[in-house]
């Protein structure tokens, strides 16, 4: 019998460690989808941030005299002190003579904010509820029944009801979009928890007397991060879309807060006469959502190949 | 025709860039004659499966590619054959059976249809004739009631029956070459024995040449005519079964053969330490209840009475589904027993709630089968080891100091503490798991198939380690295994389980020398290479 | 340049669509030739024109009901169901005779027994009706064809009221229906008008269907305004709901429908550019934009502050922002509508000129301490959407603090009747639009009712105005009426009940094979013919 | 099997109850007064109060809820506040267009998406794959109504192949019915195709890495048959699942599509009802949509047994 001390790791002859995998970060930055997606998103965010600097005029300043101007048209408006200011409308003006370009860049702020906020909130709520549901059997059935209930109501209908029945505004819209998303997140988290809690290393931790809460945070929670990041991007993307749809149905965010959605919604009646009202915000919106989705796909492929979007 | 059915000449298969070596296999040459069983033996990563797959032309596209040499099937080089020609050869001249019959059979197609498919592809027989032929072959692999099996789905069959279906489907067109890739590894010993018997029968009756891939020298001893030993993609030794097994030349071969535990138990002195663990009529029942109609119950363990003393190793031996792991998990209180008692440290912990349980956790630790899932991939091994002690109020420094000692103890460098699991090999991880268990200073250590997933050489070392720590800390070890050889080597006493019941219980020597229960005997009957004396060479 | 491109584009579109027409419109399968497919300004949901003032319901009323009197194209009241009537010399007794052959859609004759309860029910809800019935001593049926109305004191309004052209119109309904409680909707739709309502084909949100009433006996005179012979020249009228203006126009261009009651002004260029389409201004009197104050809460509970708004506003901005094309709007400071007998500028000369200096000064005098103006902004009705933002910016430039709250029109309607303080779901001001025909004098125009709690939402309380309105009701001659109306307008200029923000016109659009559309305050579909061809 | 179905149906009861409670509270606790809307302009506060009382809106909320619940259980969905019609009438009028649109869309989507997905999976990493995936991402990214307008402009206004808007009932002949639905169905199916193609690709990819695919090849089976005989059937379950999930998505899309093409379906009815605060209608619709959703999930689960013999209830 050889003394254990003498059996060095080298002794494990045909038993060599798995070659070290490239780190997640390196993989991410090799992924073209992630890179392009990220790039576009960042540009959009940047535009939103510097909106006050690049906007050619106050996005909600109306000018009835210069309504429905075509792109590149100029208009002048008298200020209270009688002086006249001349503005060039890169993207034309809408039916109130508001400068579409300025509205679009300010719209970037709100639209992206909505996307991020919805993603953050629904993930936050979903994570907590999901962890609880996943780990405590007795809570599980109760929570999941409620979630099933929420799931059963078609998302858009729920959103329509929430927004149009409460006072239309940024907050109510965000809530309206969050509510239907939460159960999806909860289910995702719960699924992860259920699979992880059977993992030997979690059981090992249990056996070594790790308190449940610690167990959740230390060993279970980290496993939810990857799928949640991915899910988050998809929620963010769809939130931006849903906002647009709500606006389209005439129950979105009030027009004096410009979002890509409600700029398009306002412009849609004049689609054939003045397409620019839909065209420009449309391009920005589609581009952003596209980018976020690409980012999400890329993230999924690298972080979490198993999972499939909206599944 | 004479001459080898299969001849492999200087086969070299390249690995994609960034692998741990340039080629999966390098200059491999050997041949298979008609009516001959050639075993290719080697541990994981030896390239034995790659060799087999390149013969079938089934190397994963884009990842592996034969870069040199040739593979002659009845004189025809399959490496240069066109895809359609290759397809024509598969199933007719050469065919293959795999390790996991469950996954190797299409779960949504009936067994009959899957055998029939071969005929559809390669013959133009009418439906009636085909069915006839299929039933015939199913008969020949002695499947009970072929008519019924024909329309059964894979999941409705037992593991052994599935493997028989695979064999039937491989042999239905009498190929010249049968490639068997670890065909029995996933099966219980008794089933394994039957399948091995079947393979050699078929091969004799039909004069098929068999290329048999395995890692188990027991199996080799059982059926091989000739043996090819592979290591890291090279053939290190080849010869007749007798030559290689009795008189190995290459050090690696010697090492492997030495590592095979003997079936004859070492004589061990009676342990008289205090009783550390006792179970009283331990039962675990799954299922039951049900909303509308009563679900059928599964008695995973019933009335299990076992007792383990300090310093003693009790082996629980049984095949899959015997309930041995259930017992272990009950004792570790990962699951709650349905009834009965678990006395640890003069305290029945069977009914305690998670919260009440916590203080008692330290008494009993467990090491799991799969080393790759036993450690949290996101935490350094150090963190994993100190977690337990710190749960019980040990200071961080103290815990870390202890962790370093334990790393030394299990034969790893203390500096490795802040490395992450993926940087270690399977064996090393299992050592770390043992260290983690020991960190709790338990009285009881449960090893649940702790060495089953390891290659023989590594297995031997980990077994040694377990025995060492038992001595060192006067542990009561509960050793769960399906492998009689392993049990023979390490256990003081053995409990044999079948369908949740302990059918035999006694000193290892007694159980091995004259087994009382029929089931125990059948287990010994089945043990591969039981009546083969391996060379013991230094 | 743009317009040229446009016209070419849409001509192509029109032609292409027309060529594909044969297959596309399955509706045309069942006799499109004599089916008039119309897109109205909104969806027909409620079907009791006495119970609600919604214009779509009024239009529905004109399809299936008939009226005793009616306004002709010159603005004079002419008998419609009535054959002839006489007034006693003391102007206190009116006696009416119904003309022959009046039939209900269930082919029972119309009698005075139906007429009187109908007038009563209308009088219970309509503001003008309430005033007029105030003068009525008794209504008695002499025989199935003649009835008599006795007054307490003379009024010039009785006949005018019975011919009231717009909401609520005194439609005549069968006795059993007319006796329904005024606050309950009627649930039977039998009328005596030129068209029959097909209840089983009525799908709210989809379409309402009317068919020609064979038993209707039109007057012999040619149709003129709402008066004259109501001859149904198509077998079937379908009101199609096309929620999306753009799509409605596309559909008209494609020939899938025949008429749009009032297409969005910004889309008119498309229609003008297509020579298969004709525009027709069916309501020459037009409409009037209005901002209503809530007199019960700060800041607009103070007349000076209301007047400040009157100074701060100018009609041009509102009209530009909503209508755009000057061809379809008219700046008009006459509250009783330019082009009507009571047109006058009295008291308004210096107002509505966006005189912010004057406005600020008034706010100061009034001691306005920046209570926010809660301005209700409806976002889903094209013709109203752009009003609130303009009001907001003008008010702000005058020094008001404005909290504009956006919501759909239905919510505005719900909100504006709430009397709570603005902070608790109340309101300070809202904008709407009136059909000019509804506001031709201070008695019929609901917003002049200043009787406090009994007044319409906004609840102005000004005894002086009420006194003037009472006098107006008694006024015998037009001259007298003119002089009182002027007084009312002067008073309102000092103590505004609401602000009129200019007149606008919304032409209907029809395919060129449609002819005979009559100019009326409310769109009507008798006398319209549908010829062959695109 | 039967007991399973019964069990599942029983399980839907609490779900629908939750839905009922949530919807009901949502309606009652939010501003907007149907009575005021019904009363119309220049209605006095007294008239409005009268109407509220008539509509039973003056009773305590809890009481209202149980009255409503009671009538639902009796199968009576109540009467619309506005239209002199029962909710049941309204819904049954509107069901045909929505159903037609939904079915057509699903069929369209499945026909297009599944082959795309399979090909993409088989040619993983090639330009075909990228093209399909690219399309599916775009499908997720463009708002439905934009797609709608573009299609209308091109195929109805410019080319005049299809009607611009409106819906033709089946009773008016299959031809017109179909023509009137082509554009809406396409519009709606875009996102749906994206979803299904994606899922098909993923699950086929997963199956392709299974042992029994290797076995099939080892038998000498041709790639095409490996793909469609072995892979697709095993990949079916997740695909069917996503089709089911998609129904919820579909119901949302229907609302928009119906507004764009002014199709008199349930989606439009919902929006109108919500805007008009027509409580009985809103409650009924959302409840029935939820029921449909639950039902579809049940059907999906049952359909598993067809595709996978291992699944037995």
Q: For residues D291 and D17, give the distance between their C-alpha atoms in angstroms, rounded to a whole number.
A: 10
Q: Which of residues 248-287 of A touch C (CB under 8 A)?
A: 250-251, 254-256, 268-274
The per-residue pLDDT for range B420-437, each reduced to its tens digit, is 888 888 889 999 999 999
Please give the average per-residue pLDDT across C88-106, as a whole number.
92
Assess whether D130 and D183 both reside in one domain: yes
pLDDT for D251 equals 77
Nearest Cα to B65, choosing from B9, B6, B12, B27? Answer: B12
CA distance B42 to chain A (A): 9
pLDDT for C87 equals 92
Least confident span in A57-61, B401-405, C1-5:
C1-5
Contact A245 D143 (CB under 8 A): yes
| CATH number listed for the domain at residues C287-504 | 3.10.105.10
Contact residues, chain D, for A145 at CB < 8 Å: 14-15, 18
Least confident span in A163-172, C108-117, C254-263, D125-134:
A163-172
Chain A residue nearest residue C263, CA to CA: A269
Q: Which of C185, C254, C457 sits opposite D156 (nearest CB)?
A: C254
Residue A65 lies in a domain: no
Confidence of residue B369 (pLDDT cuts 50, 70, 90): confident
Q: Would you tell me how many other CB atoms lie within 10 Å of the CB of residue A19?
A: 12
Q: How many domains is chain D built from?
A: 2
Confidence of residue C400 (pLDDT cuts 50, 70, 90): very high
Q: Which of residues 150-169 of D touch C (CB under 8 A)?
A: 152, 156-166, 168
Exposed e or buried b per residue across A179-216, where buried means at least 16 C-beta atoms within 10 angstroms of its C-beta? bbbbbbbbbbbbebbeebbebbbbbbbbbbbbeeeebb
Contact B89 D309 (CB under 8 A): no
Enumerate residue ranges in chain D where pLDDT < 70: 30-32, 39-45, 248, 313
The per-residue pLDDT for range D169-212, each reduced to its tens digit, is 888 888 888 888 999 999 999 988 988 998 888 888 888 888 88
Three-class SS state of C401: coil
| Residue count of chain C | 534
Nearest Cα to B163, choosing from B220, B204, B202? Answer: B202
The CATH number linked to A106 is 1.10.3720.10
Interstrand relation of C402-407 and C373-378 (parallel, antiparallel or unpaired) = parallel
Confidence of residue A78 (pLDDT cuts 50, 70, 90): low
Top residue of C266, C277, C390 to mutate, by most chain A CBs within 10 Å, is C266
DSSP string, D147-188: HHHHHIIIIIIIS--S-SS----GGG-HHHHHHHHHHHHHHH
Residue A76 lies in a domain: no
The chain-wide mean pLDDT, for chain A, equals: 81
Contact A148 D27 (CB under 8 A): no
Top residue of A21, A201, A205 to mutate, by most chain B CBs within 10 Å, is A201
CA distance C174 to chain D (A): 19
Percent pLDDT > 70 in chain A is: 86
- Is residue C73 pLDDT above 80, yes or no? yes
pLDDT for B296 equals 64
Contact residues, chain C, for D51 at CB < 8 Å: 183
- Is residue A208 pLDDT above 70, yes or no? yes
pLDDT for B1 equals 47
pLDDT for C118 equals 95
Please give the average per-residue pLDDT across A122-127, as a whole number.
94
Strands (E), C65-124: 66-67, 69-71, 77-79, 82-87, 93-98
Contact D211 B169 (CB under 8 A): no
Contact B387 A205 (CB under 8 A): yes
Q: For residues D108 and D149, give the distance between their C-alpha atoms in angstroms, rounded to a whole number.
A: 19
D52 touches chain C (CB under 8 A): no
The per-residue pLDDT for range B295-337, each reduced to its tens digit, is 567 788 888 999 999 999 999 998 888 888 889 999 989 888 9
Contact B100, B162 (CB under 8 A): no
CA distance B79 to chain A (A): 29
Three-class SS state of C207: strand
Chain D residue nearest residue B96, CA to CA: D218
Q: Would you tell me how many other CB atoms lie within 10 Å of the CB of residue B106?
A: 25
Contact residues, chain A, for C411 at CB < 8 Å: 164
Contact B433 A204 (CB under 8 A): yes
Assess whether D261 and D298 both reside in one domain: yes
Assess whether D143 and D266 both reside in one domain: yes
Task: Domain ranges for chain C, please list them.
Answer: 55-280+509-530, 287-504
Least confident span in A279-283, B184-188, B403-407, C291-295:
B184-188
Exposed e or buried b per residue across C349-360, where buried means at least 16 C-beta atoms within 10 angstroms of its C-beta? eebbbbbbebbb
Helix axes A221-248, A276-303, angle to 10 degrees: 170
Q: Would you tell me how many other CB atoms lie within 10 Å of the CB of residue A299?
A: 25
ipTM at complex level = 0.78
Residue D5 lies in a domain: no
Q: Which of residues 189-248 of B touch A (CB under 8 A)?
A: 231-232
Assess whether D35 and D134 both reside in one domain: no
Contact A164 C408 (CB under 8 A): yes
Name all chains with 3 or more CB-CB pairs below 8 Å to chain A.
B, C, D
CA distance C320 to chain A (A): 5
Q: Of D39, D73, D107, which closes a domain?
A: D73
The CATH number linked to D183 is 1.10.3720.10
Contact B106 D310 (CB under 8 A): no
The per-residue pLDDT for range B437-472, each reduced to its tens digit, is 999 889 999 999 888 888 888 888 888 899 889 999
Top residue of D218, D228, D303, D307 to mutate, by most chain B CBs within 10 Å, is D218
pLDDT for D125 equals 79
Please give the average per-residue pLDDT across C341-355, as a whole number.
91
Chain A residue nearest residue B368, CA to CA: A200
Assess whether D177 and D301 both reside in one domain: yes
Q: Would you tell me how many other CB atoms lie within 10 Å of the CB of residue B275?
A: 14
Domain boundaries, position D207: 93-307
Chain C residue nearest residue A79, CA to CA: C397
CA distance C17 to chain A (A): 15
Q: For residues B341 and D204, give the distance between their C-alpha atoms in angstroms, rounded to a whole number.
A: 49
Residue A210 lies in a domain: yes
Nearest Cα to B320, choosing from B300, B295, B335? Answer: B300
Q: For residues C85 and C82, give the distance between their C-alpha atoms in angstroms, rounded to a whole number.
A: 7
Please give the average per-residue pLDDT across A149-169, as a whole number.
77
pLDDT for A80 equals 58
Confidence of residue A311 (pLDDT cuts 50, 70, 90): very low
With a CB cutoff of 8 Å and minimum separation 6, the contacts of C240 are: C37, C38, C39, C206, C207, C257, D166, D262
The encoded tokens of residue D310 equal 């291992």
Strands (E), C379-520: 402-407, 429-435, 498-504, 508-511, 514-515
Assess whether D171 and D242 both reside in one domain: yes
Chain C residue nearest residue D39, CA to CA: C52
HSE-CB for A164 with a 13 A CA cutoff: 32
Considering the entire predicted model, what is its pTM? 0.80
Contact residues, chain B, for A8 at CB < 8 Å: 411
pLDDT for B19 equals 65
Residue D88 lies in a domain: no
Residue D184 lies in a domain: yes
Assess whether D32 and D132 both reside in one domain: no
Angle B232-B233-B239 from CA coordinates, rounded to 5°: 100
CA distance C332 to chain A (A): 18
From residue C51, how far is each of B7, C110, C184, C459, D72 by CA, in Å?
Answer: 99, 22, 7, 21, 30
Cα C128 versus chain centre, distance? 14
Which comes out higher in pLDDT, residue C170 or A307?
A: C170
Contact A156 D251 (CB under 8 A): yes
CA quadruple C322, C324, C330, C335: dihedral, nearest 10:
10
The per-residue pLDDT for range C138-193, each reduced to its tens digit, is 999 999 999 999 999 888 889 989 999 887 899 999 999 999 888 778 888 899 99
- Is residue B372 pLDDT above 90, yes or no? no
Q: Which of C47, C52, C411 sits opposite D32 (nearest CB)?
A: C411
Q: For residues C44 and C208, give the distance between their C-alpha atoms in angstroms, rounded to a whole number.
A: 7
Contact residues, chain D, for C238 at CB < 8 Å: none
Contact C41, C58 (CB under 8 A): no
pLDDT for C150 equals 94
A26 touches chain C (CB under 8 A): no
CATH topology identical between C55-280+509-530 and C287-504: no
DSSP string, B481-501: ES-HHHHHHH-SEEEEEETTE
Confidence of residue B537 (pLDDT cuts 50, 70, 90): low
Name all chains with 3 or more CB-CB pairs below 8 Å to chain D.
A, B, C
Helix (H) or strand (E) holding C237: strand C236-240
With a CB cutoff of 8 Å and minimum separation 6, the contacts of A120 are: A232
C318 touches chain A (CB under 8 A): yes
pLDDT for B18 equals 65
Nearest Cα to C219, choosing from C100, C85, C94? Answer: C100
CA distance C530 to chain A (A): 28
Chain A residue nearest residue B47, CA to CA: A14
pLDDT for A113 equals 94
A217 touches chain B (CB under 8 A): no
Least confident span in C1-15, C105-119, C486-500, D31-45:
C1-15
Q: How many domains is chain A built from?
A: 1
Which comes out higher in pLDDT, residue C335 or A262?
A: C335
Percent pLDDT > 70 in chain B is: 96
| CATH number listed for the domain at residues C55-280+509-530 | 3.40.190.10
Contact residues, chain B, for A211 at CB < 8 Å: 358, 391
């Amino acid at each position: 019998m050889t003394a254990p001390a003498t059996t060095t790791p080298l002794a494990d002859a045909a038993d060599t460690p798995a070659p070290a995998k490239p780190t997640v970060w390196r993989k991410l930055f090799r992924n073209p989808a992630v890179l392009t997606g990220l790039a576009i998103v960042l540009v959009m965010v940047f535009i939103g941030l510097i909106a006050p600097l690049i906007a050619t005029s106050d996005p909600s300043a109306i000018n009835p005299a210069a309504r429905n101007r075509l792109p590149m048209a100029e208009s002048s408006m008298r200020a209270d002190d009688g002086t006249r200011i001349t503005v060039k409308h890169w993207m034309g003006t809408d039916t109130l003579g508001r400068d579409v370009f300025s509205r679009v860049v300010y719209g970037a702020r709100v639209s992206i904010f909505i996307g991020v906020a919805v993603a953050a909130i629904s993930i936050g709520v979903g994570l907590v509820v999901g962890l609880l549901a996943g780990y405590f059997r007795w809570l599980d059935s109760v929570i999941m029944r409620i979630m099933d209930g929420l799931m059963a109501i078609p998302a858009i209908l729920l959103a329509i009801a929430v927004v149009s029945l409460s006072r239309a505004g940024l907050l109510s819209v965000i809530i309206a979009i969050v509510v239907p998303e939460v159960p999806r997140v909860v289910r995702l988290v719960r699924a992860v928890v259920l699979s992880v809690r059977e993992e030997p290393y979690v059981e090992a931790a249990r056996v070594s007397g790790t308190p449940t809460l610690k167990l959740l945070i230390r060993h279970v929670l980290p496993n939810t991060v990857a799928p949640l990041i991915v899910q988050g991007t998809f929620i963010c993307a769809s939130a931006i879309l849903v906002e647009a749809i709500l606006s389209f149905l005439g129950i979105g965010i009030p027009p004096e807060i410009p979002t890509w959605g409600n700029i398009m919604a306002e412009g849609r009646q004049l689609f054939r006469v003045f397409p620019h009202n839909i065209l420009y915000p449309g391009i920005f919106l589609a581009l952003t959502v596209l980018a976020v989705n690409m980012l999400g796909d890329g993230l999924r492929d690298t972080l979490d190949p198993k999972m499939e979007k909206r599944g | 025709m004479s001459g080898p059915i299969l001849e492999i000449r200087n086969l070299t298969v390249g690995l994609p860039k960034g692998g741990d070596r340039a080629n999966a296999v390098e200059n491999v040459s050997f041949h298979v004659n008609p009516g001959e069983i050639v075993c290719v033996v080697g541990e994981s990563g030896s390239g034995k499966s790659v060799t087999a797959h390149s013969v079938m032309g089934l190397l994963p596209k884009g990842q592996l590619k034969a870069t040199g040499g040739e593979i002659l099937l009845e004189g025809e080089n399959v490496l240069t054959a066109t895809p359609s020609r290759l397809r024509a050869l598969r199933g007719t001249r050469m065919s293959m059976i795999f390790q996991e019959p469950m996954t190797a059979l299409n779960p949504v197609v009936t067994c009959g249809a899957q055998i029939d498919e071969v005929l559809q592809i390669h013959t133009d027989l009418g439906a009636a004739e085909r069915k006839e032929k299929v039933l015939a072959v199913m008969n020949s692999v002695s499947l009970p009631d072929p008519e019924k099996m024909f329309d059964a789905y894979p999941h409705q069959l037992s593991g052994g029956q599935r493997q028989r279906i695979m064999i039937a489907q491989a042999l239905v067109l009498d190929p010249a070459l049968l490639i068997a890739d670890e065909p029995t590894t996933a099966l219980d010993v008794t089933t394994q024995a039957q399948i091995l018997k079947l393979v050699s029968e078929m091969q004799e009756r039909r004069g098929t040449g068999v290329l048999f891939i395995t890692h188990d020298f027991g199996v080799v001893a059982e059926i091989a005519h000739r043996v090819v030993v592979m290591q890291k993609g090279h053939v290190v030794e080849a010869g007749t079964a007798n030559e290689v097994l009795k008189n190995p030349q290459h050090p690696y071969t010697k090492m492997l053969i030495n590592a095979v535990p003997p079936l004859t138990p070492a004589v061990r002195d009676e342990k008289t330490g205090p009783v550390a663990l006792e179970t009283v009529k331990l039962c675990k029942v799954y299922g039951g209840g049900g909303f509308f109609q009563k679900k059928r119950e599964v008695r995973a363990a019933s009335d299990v009475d076992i007792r383990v003393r300090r310093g003693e190793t009790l082996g629980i031996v049984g095949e899959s589904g015997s309930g041995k792991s259930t017992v272990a998990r009950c004792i570790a209180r990962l699951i709650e027993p349905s009834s009965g008692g678990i006395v640890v440290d003069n305290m029945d912990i069977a009914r305690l709630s998670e919260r009440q349980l916590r203080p008692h956790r330290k008494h009993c630790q467990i090491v799991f089968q799969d080393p790759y899932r036993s450690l949290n991939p996101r935490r350094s091994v150090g963190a994993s080891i100190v977690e337990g002690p710190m749960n019980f109020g040990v200071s961080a420094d103290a815990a870390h100091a202890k962790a370093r000692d334990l790393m030394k103890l299990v034969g790893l460098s203390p500096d490795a503490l802040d490395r992450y699991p993926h940087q270690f090999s399977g064996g090393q991880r299992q050592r770390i798991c043992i260290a983690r268990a020991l960190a709790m200073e338990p009285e009881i250590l449960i090893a649940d198939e702790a060495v089953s997933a390891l290659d023989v050489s590594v297995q031997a070392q980990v077994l040694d380690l377990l025995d060492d720590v038992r001595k060192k800390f006067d542990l009561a070890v509960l050793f769960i295994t399906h492998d009689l050889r392993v049990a023979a080597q390490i256990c003081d006493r053995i409990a044999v389980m079948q369908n949740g019941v302990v059918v035999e219980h006694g000193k290892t020597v007694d159980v091995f020398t004259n087994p009382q229960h029929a089931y125990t005997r059948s287990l010994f009957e089945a043990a591969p290479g039981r009546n083969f004396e391996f060379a013991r060479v230094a | 340049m743009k317009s040229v491109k446009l016209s070419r584009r849409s001509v192509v579109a029109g032609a292409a669509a027309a060529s594909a027409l044969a297959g596309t419109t399955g509706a045309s399968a069942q006799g499109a030739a004599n089916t008039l497919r119309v897109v109205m300004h909104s969806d027909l949901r409620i079907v009791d024109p006495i119970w609600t003032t919604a214009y779509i319901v009024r239009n529905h009323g004109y399809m299936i009901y008939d009226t005793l009197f009616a306004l002709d194209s010159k603005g004079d009241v002419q008998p419609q169901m009535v054959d002839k009537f006489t007034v006693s010399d003391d102007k206190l007794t009116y006696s009416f005779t119904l003309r022959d052959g009046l039939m209900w859609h269930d082919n029972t004759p119309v009698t005075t027994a139906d007429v009187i309860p109908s007038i009563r029910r209308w009088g219970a809800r309509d503001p003008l009706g309430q005033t007029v019935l105030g003068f009525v001593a008794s209504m008695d049926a002499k025989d199935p064809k003649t009835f008599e109305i006795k007054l307490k004191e003379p009024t010039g309004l009785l006949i005018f009221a019975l011919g009231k052209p717009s909401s609520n119109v005194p439609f005549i309904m069968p006795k059993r229906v007319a006796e329904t409680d005024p606050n309950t909707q009627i649930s039977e739709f039998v009328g005596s008008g030129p068209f029959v309502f097909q209840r089983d084909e009525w799908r709210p949100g989809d379409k309402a269907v009317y068919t020609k009433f064979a038993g209707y006996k039109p007057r012999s005179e040619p149709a003129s305004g709402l008066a004259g012979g109501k001859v149904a020249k198509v077998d079937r009228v379908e009101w199609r709901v096309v929620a999306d203006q753009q799509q409605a126009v596309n559909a008209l261009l494609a020939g899938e429908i025949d008429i749009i009651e009032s297409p969005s002004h910004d889309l008119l260029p498309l229609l003008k550019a297509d020579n298969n389409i004709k525009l027709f201004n069916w309501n020459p009197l037009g409409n009037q934009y209005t901002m209503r104050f809530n007199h019960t809460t700060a800041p607009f509970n103070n007349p000076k502050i209301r007047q400040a708004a009157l100074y701060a506003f100018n009609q041009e901005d509102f009209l530009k922002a909503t209508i755009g094309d000057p061809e379809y709007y008219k700046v008009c400071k006459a509250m009783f509508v330019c082009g009507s007998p009571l047109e006058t500028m009295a008291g308004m000369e210096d107002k509505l000129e966006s005189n912010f200096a004057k406005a600020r000064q008034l706010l100061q005098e009034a001691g306005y301490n920046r209570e926010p103006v809660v301005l209700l902004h409806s976002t889903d009705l094209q013709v109203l959407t752009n009003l609130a933002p303009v009001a907001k910016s003008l008010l702000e430039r005058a020094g008001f603090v404005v909290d504009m709250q956006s919501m759909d029109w239905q919510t505005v309607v719900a909100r504006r009747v709430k009397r709570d303080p603005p902070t608790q779901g109340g309101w300070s001001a809202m904008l709407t639009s009136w059909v000019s025909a509804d506001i031709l004098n201070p008695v019929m125009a609901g917003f002049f009712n200043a009787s406090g709690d009994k007044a319409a939402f906004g609840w102005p309380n000004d005894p002086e105005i009420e006194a003037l309105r009472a006098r107006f009701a008694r006024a015998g001659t037009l001259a007298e009426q003119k002089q009182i109306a002027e007084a009312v307008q002067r008073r309102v200029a000092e103590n505004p009940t609401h602000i009129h923000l200019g007149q606008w016109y919304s032409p209907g659009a029809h395919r060129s094979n449609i002819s005979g559309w009559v100019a009326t305050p409310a769109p009507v579909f008798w006398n319209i013919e549908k010829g062959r061809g695109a | 099997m039967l007991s399973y179905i019964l069990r599942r149906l029983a399980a839907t009861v609490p779900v629908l109850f939750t839905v009922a409670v949530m919807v009901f509270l949502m309606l009652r606790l939010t501003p907007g007064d149907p009575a005021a809307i019904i009363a119309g302009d220049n209605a006095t506060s007294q008239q409005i109060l009268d109407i509220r009382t008539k509509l039973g809106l003056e009773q305590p909320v809890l009481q209202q809820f149980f009255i409503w619940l009671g009538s639902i259980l009796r199968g009576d969905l109540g009467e619309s506040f506005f239209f002199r019609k029962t909710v049941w009438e309204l819904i049954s009028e509107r069901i045909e267009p929505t159903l037609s649109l939904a079915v057509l869309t699903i069929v369209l989507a499945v026909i297009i998406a599944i082959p795309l997905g399979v090909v993409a999976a088989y040619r993983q990493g090639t330009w075909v794959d990228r093209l399909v995936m690219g399309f599916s991402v775009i499908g997720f990214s463009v708002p439905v109504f934009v797609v709608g307008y573009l299609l209308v402009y091109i195929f109805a206004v410019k080319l005049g192949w299809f009607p611009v808007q409106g819906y033709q009932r089946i009773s008016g002949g299959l031809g017109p019915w179909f023509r009137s639905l082509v554009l809406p169905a396409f519009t709606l199916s875009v996102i749906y195709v994206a979803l299904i193609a994606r899922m098909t690709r993923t699950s086929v990819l997963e199956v392709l890495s299974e042992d029994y695919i290797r076995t099939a090849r080892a038998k000498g089976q041709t790639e095409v048959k490996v793909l469609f005989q072995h892979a697709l059937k095993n990949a079916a379950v997740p695909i069917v699942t996503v089709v089911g999930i998609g129904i919820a998505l579909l119901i949302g899309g229907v609302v928009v599509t119906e507004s764009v093409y002014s199709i008199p379906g349930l989606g439009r009815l919902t929006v109108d009802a919500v805007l008009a605060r027509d409580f009985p209608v809103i409650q009924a619709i959302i409840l029935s949509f939820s029921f449909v959703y639950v039902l579809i999930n049940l059907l999906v689960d049952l359909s598993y047994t067809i595709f996978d013999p291992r699944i037995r209830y």
